[in-house]
Amino acid sequence: MQIKQFRYGADNLGYLVYGDKTAMAVDGGAPKKILSFVKDRNLALQYVTNTHSHMDHTTGNRQLLSGTNAAFLDFDTLIDQKEIQMEGQLIRVLHTPGHTKDSVCFYFDSILISGDTLFNGKVGRCFTGDHQRFLQSIKTLLQLPGDTAVYAGHDYVEEYVALARSLEPDNAHLAGYDPDHVRATLNEERRVDPFLRFNDEKITAILRARGLPAETEAQRWESLMSLM
């Protein structure tokens, strides 16, 4: 399976997962561009779905569904099935509550569509207020192979790299990116994103220097979340 990224709005990123004959739109907020791509490739849009139910991610659903014979995969269906089959290949559905209760990620072929759970440079905001459940979601993603390409729901890279630099000005891994193809591997994220290194001695020292609790993993995570 392949992936195509679509930018829409100020900074939203939507995706089309496709094979030789079929495709699935994820957070398809650029419906005209997606439908044009599907037509040009002679594909059938099989599914429309979302990483979570925030309006900026669901805005294209109606147009995509009305213009095709695609089926809509809602949150309950995704969680019940735990996987999506397309052209004989499986796409894993990972329930990752934290940003929202209905947040999910999609994993296939060393690709992770992470929505607003994990951005390039930082984790998402925890609108549920359940920081510890969000921590478990992030730990689930960290178990994926290091070469996994992370495709997030927004292009916040410059803002979040600036935040990372404010915490670690000597981090040599902080660099620029390609705004036309926003992605990073999980290994790259681990080197850049302080929110993924909640057990790192350097991050622990930074938190303590700021007078923040850092004795336990749960405390370090809470302290990091307070920096958002």
What is the domain-level CATH number for residue 112?
3.60.15.10
pLDDT by residue (tens digit) across 106-144? 999 999 999 999 999 899 999 999 999 999 999 999 999
Which amino acid makes up residue 108?
F
- Residue 171, pLDDT above cutoff 90: no
CB neighbour list of residue 191: distance below 8 Å, 6 or more residues apart: 171, 173
Edge-to-edge strand ranges of the sheet holding 2-8 = 2-8, 12-18, 22-26, 44-49, 71-73
Task: Give the SS3 label for residue 81.
Answer: helix
Tell me, what's the pLDDT at 172? 84
Task: Specify the range with the lowest mean pLDDT, choosing from 115-124, 165-174, 205-214.
Answer: 165-174
> What domain count does the chain have?
1
At residue 228, the pLDDT reads 85
Structural domain contains residue 35: yes
Q: Going by C-beta distance under 8 Å and a sequence separation of 6 or more, which residues neighbour residue 155?
A: 7, 11, 13, 120, 179, 182
The neighbouring-strand residues paired with 105 are 94
Q: Is residue 196 part of a domain?
A: no
**How far apart are the C-alpha atoms of 38 and 105, rounded to whole Å?**
22
Residue 92 covered by a domain: yes
Residue 163 domain flag: no
Question: What is the percent of the chain with per-residue pLDDT over 70, rounded to a whole number?
Answer: 100
Q: Is the pLDDT of residue 84 over 90?
A: yes
- Domain assignment of residue 37, given as a range: 2-156+176-185
Q: CB within 8 A of 156, min separation 6: which ones?
A: 11, 119, 120, 121, 122
Query: pTM value?
Result: 0.96
Residue 166 lies in a domain: no
Has residue 150 been placed in a domain?
yes
More confident residue, 216 or 175: 216
pLDDT of residue 34: 98
Whether 7 is covered by a domain: the verdict is: yes
Report the mean per-residue pLDDT for the chain. 95
**Per-residue CA distances from 178 to 60, 114, 155, 200, 212 (Å):** 25, 18, 10, 28, 34
Has residue 103 got a pLDDT over 90? Answer: yes
Q: Decide: 115 and 153 in contact? Cβ < 8 Å.
A: yes
Residue 141 lies in a domain: yes
The pLDDT-based confidence of 97 (bands split at 50, 70, 90) is very high
Residue labelled with tokens 């020292």: 205
What single-letter DSSP state applies at residue 143? T
Q: Are 173 and 192 a contacting pair, CB within 8 Å?
A: yes
